[in-house]
Amino acid sequence: TNPSDLVSDSLEYDFCSVSLTNDAHATTSERINRLHRADSEISEIEIEWLSKARHHKLRKRRLDKAASLFNDSSRDKEWIQAAERFGVLSNPATPSSVASFLFNTPKLDKVKIGLYLSKGPKEKYPFISEVLTEFCKLFSFEGLSFSEALRMFLSTFRLPGEAQCIDRLMESFASRLFEVQLLGHRLEQTQSVEKAMLEPPRDNTDCDSVNANERVGALDPPALTHQPVLPFKNADAAYILSFSTIMLNTDLHNPNMKEERRMTLEQFIRNNRGINDGADL
- Residues involved in catalysis: 162
Do residues 142 and 180 make contact, with C-beta atoms less than 8 angstroms apart? yes
From the DSSP assignment, how many helices (H) and strands (E) are in the chain? 11, 0
| Of residues 155, 117, 112, 154, the one with CA closest to residue 242 | 154
CA distances from 178 to 19, 25, 152, 190 (A): 73, 80, 15, 18
Cis (ω within 30 of 0) for the bond into 221? no
Query: For the CA atoms of 271, 276, 278, 279, what is the dihedral angle to 10 degrees?
Result: -90
Length of the chain: 281
Long-range residue pairs from 122-129, CB within 8 A, at least 24 positions apart, any chain: 127/95, 128/76
